[in-house]
Structure 1
Amino acid sequence: MSTPTETALARRWRLEINMGTVAVPDWQLCPAVTEFQWTAEPNHEDSTSYDSDGWKENTKTAQEWEVEATFNRKATPDSTAYSPVHEKIRTAWLAYGEDHKVHLRWMDRNGLPEAYEGYGLPNWEPQGGEYTDLDQVQVTFTGTGALTPITNPIAP
């Protein structure tokens, strides 16, 4: 194995949404992503006792994750429909219960091993702007349940 010398680019992430079901997934690209960030913050609680000889101890008790993506809205050439993936996210944002959950995954688009999957609750925020701006939306997916590392489905 050679020593890595190239710097990875932020645009390496590919976001996909399951347009099918859990039993029969239909993963489709979320098109036109212009920004992508994710976090998975652990919750640490102080577990220090007299037995630690004055050294502070901590215990991980929970973890949460979040994905933030900004994308350009895509419509058909006749302007009669938006991207079905964008619409799935938007309609889930307005729903409740199971219909509010979006099954998503993201992976390194170059095929490197980093890839994750989970269910997120979307918050849809149109970005507005001036008459010269593109129609952009920022979506924040708040994770509900585990974030699972997966084998990159586009790995060679």
Structure 2
Amino acid sequence: MSTPVETETALARRWRLEVNMSTTEAPDWQLCPGITEFEWTAEPNHEDSTSYDTGGWTENTKTAQSWEVTATFNRKHTPDETTYSPVHERIRKAFFAYGAAHNVHMRWMDRNGLPEAYEGRGLPNWEPQGGEYTDLDQVQVTFTGNGELLPITNPLAA
């Protein structure tokens, strides 16, 4: 009889989001600081490909796939309140841009080094969350995938 393997439940805060602050050829991956919520999806598009040959059973074919990342973060700035986080600013400026400048090259991975990690380019939607005078300055950004989402080797893996 085999010995049962002990397991623990992964925590939602395991995700780390990084943004490439340079070029594809010479990437400069920097942490997106202050994340308080993080979710991602990669929805396939399935089309009915049923024919008379299937004996009445339906068949489906994957014809496309889309992905999306939603991250909420606390805005970070220097102690003298003269500069925001460069990563936050890169995302905010991309939101207002068009063309290639609207793309944010990003990756996210398990911060504990487990194998799950992804890389792609997303189009940001910047949404300040507002709030009462006691609230923190938070922004929710939804990145709509622009092209392929690649599973990658986790750069934090041991």
Query: Same fold per TM (> 0.5)?
Result: yes
Q: What is the identity, as a one-letter code, of the residue corresponding to 2:72?
A: T
In the alignment, which residue of structure 1 is the partner of 2:46? 44
Please state whether the residue corresponding to 2:131 is helix, strand or coil.
Answer: coil
Deviations, residues 29-76 of structure 1 (Å, cap 9, x unaligned): 000000000000000000011101000110000000000000000010
SS in 2 for 1:151: coil
1:86 alignment partner, one of 68, 88, 110 = 88
Match of 1:67 among 69, 83, 88: 69
State the 1:4 CA deviation. Answer: 5.0
Structure 2 residues not aligned, in runs of 5+: none
**Pairing 1:133–2:128 present:** no
Corresponding residue for residue 31 of structure 1: 33
What RMSD in Å do the two structures reach over aligned CA positions?
Answer: 0.8
Amino acid at match of 1:100: H
Change (3 A) 1:155 1:63: same
* Counterpart in the other structure of 1:6: 8
The percent of aligned pairs where both chains have the same amino acid is 79
**1:113: which partner in 2?**
115
Other-structure match for 1:21? 23
Structure 1 unaligned blocks of 5 or more: none
Q: Kindly report structure 1 stretches of 4+ aligned residues shifted beyond 6 Å.
A: none
2:91 aligns to what SS in structure 1? Answer: helix
